[in-house]
Amino acid sequence: MTPAAPSPLLQIRDLQVHFDTPAGLLRAVGGVSFDLDAGETLGLVGESGCGKTVTALSILRLLPATHADMTGEIRFAGEDLQTLSEPRLREIRGNRIAMVFQEPMTALNPVFTIGEQVAEALRLHRGLSHQDAWQAAGQALTRVGLPEAQRRLKQYPHELSGGLRQRALIAMALACEPEILIADEPTTALDVTIQAQILALLKNLKEEMGLAVLFITHNLGIVAQTTERVAVMYAGAIMEQAATKELYKNPAHPYTRSLLAAVPRLDFHQPPGEKLAAIRGQVPGLEAPPTGCLFMDRCPEAREQCQEPPPWVEVEPGHQVRCWNYA
Amino acid sequence: MTETLLETKDLSRYFRLAGPWGRGPLLQAVEGVNIAVMAGETLGLVGESGCGKSTLGRLILALLSPTRGRVRFEGEEVTALPKARLKQLRRQMQIVFQDPYSSLNPRMMVRQILEEPYIIHNLGAKAERRQWVAALLEEVGLGAEHLDRYPHEFSGGQRQRLGVARALALKPKLIVADEPVSALDVSIQAQILNLLADLQKRHGLTYLFISHDLSVISQISDRVAVMYLCRLVELAPRAVFDSARLHPYTEALLAAVPLPDPERPFKPPELKGDPPSPINLPSGCPFHPRCPEAQLPVCRDEIPEYRETAVGHWVACHFR
C-alpha cells in the first residue's frame, strides 16, 4: 500500500436494502455510509433488527437477490462490489474479505470434518493440492490456539465445544489471510470466560496479520474493549460515528446516550435495584419508518424540527452525529 | 429481611442419560447445594451454561424431584408433601422463564393466559377473575386493550411483561426468575429489570434471580451465589464482591466481563480450556483443571469444603 493511502479499504455509500415480504416492503437498511481503513477495527453496534447484520451480509452480496433489493455503493480496494461479476466476487469473498458468524454450529457443515472445511477454502482460493491444503489447515488451526490441531482436523463439528467451534470458524475465515474480517456477533453464543478467550484471540490475530475488522455486536462492553471506531445503528441507519474513546466519553446522539445509560454496570458498590434509565417505547416498524428522525418517538429531547430528516453534523473532528440538537 | 423463606439441604439431582444400548452415563446437574433464601431479598444465582443453575431453580420450585436432599419452604418440607398440599404451596412460588416466545401458549389470548392460574386453583367467580386479570395487566404496564390479543402480536419486552404478570397472578411470595432478560435488547432489558424492582418493593416479593450475566446480577441482587459445575462455589452479600478476596472462579468470571468503558483496561486471566462435562466430573475441586491458583495434589484430590469464611461469606476453596 502507498504511504498515504488515498482511499479507505472499504467504502460504503448510501447503502439501502429493502426486503420484499408477504407483509409488504421492509426497509432493513436505509442509507448507511461508512469507511473501514486498512488495519482498523470498526464496531457496528445496535439492538436487534437495527440492520447491522444485513449491512454486513450485503457487503459480500450474501442476501438472496430474489427478495432483497440493494442500492448504493460498496467499494473494496477501488472496485464496486455491487456491480462485480459473480466469478470476480468469488475471488474476494472468503479470500480477501472473510466472515465469522454468530452461531458456530450452524455456520459449520455438520457432515464434513473441520479439516475438510478449512482446507476447502485453501484449495479454492489458493489453488493448493489436497495434501498441501490439509497441512495448511492444520497450521491455521494451530494459529487460532486449537489444541491438538492434527486430531481436530479429523473431527466433526459436533465433537467440538462452542468455543472450539468458534475457533475453527475463525481459522477457516483467516486461512486465506484476508484483508478484512467481518465478525458478526462472534461471541454472543459463548460463555463469558470463553468469550474473553475469543476476544483476546481476535485481537492478537488482528495485530499479527494487520487485519481490518468490522465487528458487529449488540454488546457495548465488547465494543468498548475491542474497537477503535464505532458506528451506532438504529432502525436501519447510522445515528452517530466516532472514535471509540470519544463516543463513550462524549456521546452526542440522544439514542447513544440512552443506550449507554440503559446498560447495567458491573458494580457491586451501588445499592441494588437502582433504576436503570430504560428507553421508553420500542423500535419503529420497518414497514413504514418515520420520515424524520428515526428515534423521534422515543427521544426525550424530540421537538417539532425532528419531523424533518436530521442532517449529519460534525461535532468534533471525526465525530459525526445525525441530530437536530447540533445543527 | 432476616427470616428464611426457603432453605435447601444437600440438594442434588442427577440425570441418567440414554445410551446407545439402554442406560447411559450419569449426569450430575446439581450436587450438594445448601442455600437459604431470605424473605424479601433478591438472591442472584450466576454461572455459565450447563452449570446447573436452572436445574437448581426447578428443584426449588418442586418442578423436579431431587435425587438427594431436601427443600424447605417456610419451614415446611416440600419434597415430602402430598400432592394436594403441594398444589396449595405452588401458589406461593412461581417462575418467570427466559424465552418469552416459547413460554406463552400461542393459541391463547392474553385474557386466557392470565386467567388460567385462577382457574387451576379454583379462585374467584368469572367476573372477579376478569377484574383481577385487568389489574394484573396494569401492574406490569400493559393495558386493557391488550386483553384480546395473542402472544405473537406483542414484542419481546411486552411478552416478558406478560410472563411476569402470569407469575404474579396468585400473589406468590417467591418468584424464581430464570434468565428473564437474556433474550431482550438492552433498552428493553432495562425496562423489565426496573419493573421487577418496582414489583418487589410494592409486594414484598422474594426473588431467586438466575442469570449468566454478572452485570445484570450486580444490578438487582442483594446477595449473589456463584455456581460452577453443579456446585455452589461462593455466596456472599453484594458488597463483598467489591472488596474481599473471592473464589478464583468468581474472580475470573468478574474479570472476563468486557466493561462498557474503553478507558478501563480489559485483561482477563487466561482460563484454560472449557468447563469440563458434567458427565465426567474432575476429581477434587471441580475448578482445579482451569484454576490459575490450583496446587497439586490437594486441589486435585480433595473436594474443598463449602464453609463460611466471614460472616455471610461462603466459599468452597482450599486457599480462601
**What are the chain A neighbours of B220 within 8 Å (beta carbons)?**
264, 272-273
- Asked if ipTM goes beyond 0.85, one says yes
- How close B83 gets to chain A, by Cα (Å)? 36
**Which of A192, A197, A245 should one mutate to test binding to chain B, selecting the residue with the greatest count of B CBs within 10 A?**
A192
User: Per the domain annotation, does B304 fall within a domain?
Assistant: yes
R_g of chain B, CA atoms, integer Å: 21
Q: Do B186 and A263 touch (CB under 8 A)?
A: yes
User: Per the domain annotation, does B278 fall within a domain?
Assistant: yes
Nearest CA in chain A to B254: A266
Q: Do A274 and B256 touch (CB under 8 A)?
A: no
User: Per the domain annotation, does B145 fall within a domain?
Assistant: no
**What are the chain A neighbours of B214 within 8 Å (beta carbons)?**
192, 266
Q: How far is Cα A29 from Cα A113, in angstroms, rounded to an integer? A: 36
Q: Do A197 and B270 touch (CB under 8 A)?
A: yes
**What are the chain A neighbours of B260 within 8 Å (beta carbons)?**
220-221, 223-224, 248, 260, 263, 265
Who among B194, B222, B242 is closest to A269 (CB)? B242
Who among B42, B186, B218 is closest to A267 (CB)? B218
Who among A191, A219, A244 is closest to B212 (CB)? A191
User: Per the domain annotation, does B51 fall within a domain?
Assistant: no
A273-278 average pLDDT score: 86
pLDDT digits (tens, 9 = 90+) for A281-309: 888 888 888 889 999 999 999 999 999 99
Strands A10-21, A24-36: pairing is: antiparallel
Q: Do B274 and A194 touch (CB under 8 A)?
A: yes
User: Per the domain annotation, does B87 fall within a domain?
Assistant: no
Nearest CA in chain B to A49: B185
**What are the chain B neighbours of A163 within 8 Å (beta carbons)?**
274
Residue A6: its pLDDT value, please? Answer: 59
Measured from the Cβ of residue B73, the count of other Cβ atoms closer than 10 Å reads: 22
R_g of chain A, CA atoms, integer Å: 21
H/E element, B123: none
In this predicted structure, the answer to whether residue A3 has a pLDDT above a threshold of 60 is: no
User: Per the domain annotation, does B306 fall within a domain?
Assistant: yes
pLDDT digits (tens, 9 = 90+) for A103-133: 877 889 999 999 999 999 999 999 999 999 9
pLDDT digits (tens, 9 = 90+) for B53-95: 999 999 999 999 999 999 999 999 998 899 999 999 999 999 9
Nearest CA in chain A to B262: A224
Residue reference for cell 477454502 = A121
Who among B187, B213, B241 is closest to A278 (CB)? B187
Q: How far is Cα A209 from Cα A41, in angstroms, rounded to an integer? A: 13
CA A186 to chain centre: 9
Q: Do A245 and B239 touch (CB under 8 A)?
A: no
**Which of A152, A191, A248 should one mutate to test binding to chain B, selecting the residue with the greatest count of B CBs within 10 A?**
A191
Query: Quick check: helix, strand or coil at residue B259?
Result: coil
User: Per the domain annotation, does B233 fall within a domain?
Assistant: no
CB B154 within 8 A of CB B184: no
Q: What residues make up the domain containing B256? A: 251-320
Q: How confident is the model at residue A2 (pLDDT cuts 50, 70, 90)?
A: very low
Nearest to B6 by CA among B72, B83, B77, B101: B72
**What are the chain A neighbours of B242 within 8 Å (beta carbons)?**
268-269
Q: Do B258 and A226 touch (CB under 8 A)?
A: yes
Nearest CA in chain A to B49: A191
Nearest to B311 by CA among B236, B233, B226: B236
- How close B195 gets to chain A, by Cα (Å)? 9
**Which of B274, B277, B280 should one mutate to test binding to chain A, selecting the residue with the greatest count of A CBs within 10 A?**
B274
**What are the chain A neighbours of B200 within 8 Å (beta carbons)?**
273
CB B59 within 8 A of CB B66: yes
Query: Quick check: helix, strand or coil at residue A167?
Result: helix
User: Per the domain annotation, does B280 fall within a domain?
Assistant: yes
Residue A271: its pLDDT value, please? Answer: 85
Q: Which residue positions in chain B have pLDDT lower than 50?
A: 1
CB B76 within 8 A of CB B89: yes
Residue B197: its pLDDT value, please? Answer: 95
Domain count, chain B: 1
Nearest CA in chain A to B199: A273
Residue A275: its pLDDT value, please? Answer: 87
Q: How confident is the model at residue A145 (pLDDT cuts 50, 70, 90)?
A: confident
Burial of A33 (0-12, 13-18, 19+ CB in 10 A): middle
Strands A79-80, A68-76: pairing is: antiparallel
- How close B3 gets to chain A, by Cα (Å)? 19
In this predicted structure, the answer to whether residue A1 has a pLDDT above a threshold of 60 is: no
